[in-house]
Amino acid sequence: MKEALPDLVAHFSVRRGLFRKERVEAELFELDSYGCVMKTDKMFNPGDTVVLDLIMDMPFDKIRAENLSGLVTERRKHCSNFFYSIDFSDFNPGGDAALEEKLRRIREVLSKKQSLKSRRSSGSLPGFRQMA
């Protein structure tokens, strides 16, 4: 099983009843310019839309890409959780330049962290995916 991406989480809201929403935090396992894979115990179906805030924890601050709309394209059950493939449906390059820049920055920092981690470990990690 792959490891979660370091220092990166997704936050989203799930409706609980008529007037209440629950704020949920989920681990991310993949991220590229087209979408992500997240793990949570919350239930979504392929075709559902989810609005994510991606938050990367940094030593002095956080990088936040907020209100990123995603389309659930796949669901895989693993124990009591689900892995969801999410395509960034409303994200078109050149549209929201600030959001595009924040996503690019998160991917850049992730790539550096994973590169450092793979150099520290003996040999390379099996299943390591090079980030764009």
3-class DSSP state of 81: strand
Q: Each residue of 70-107: pLDDT tens digit?
A: 999 999 998 889 999 999 866 555 567 788 889 999 99
How confident is the prediction for the chain on average, in pLDDT? Answer: 84
- pTM of structure: 0.80
Give me the helices (H) in 33-131, please: 97-120
What domains appear along the chain, each with residue ranges and CATH number? 8-118 (2.40.10.220)
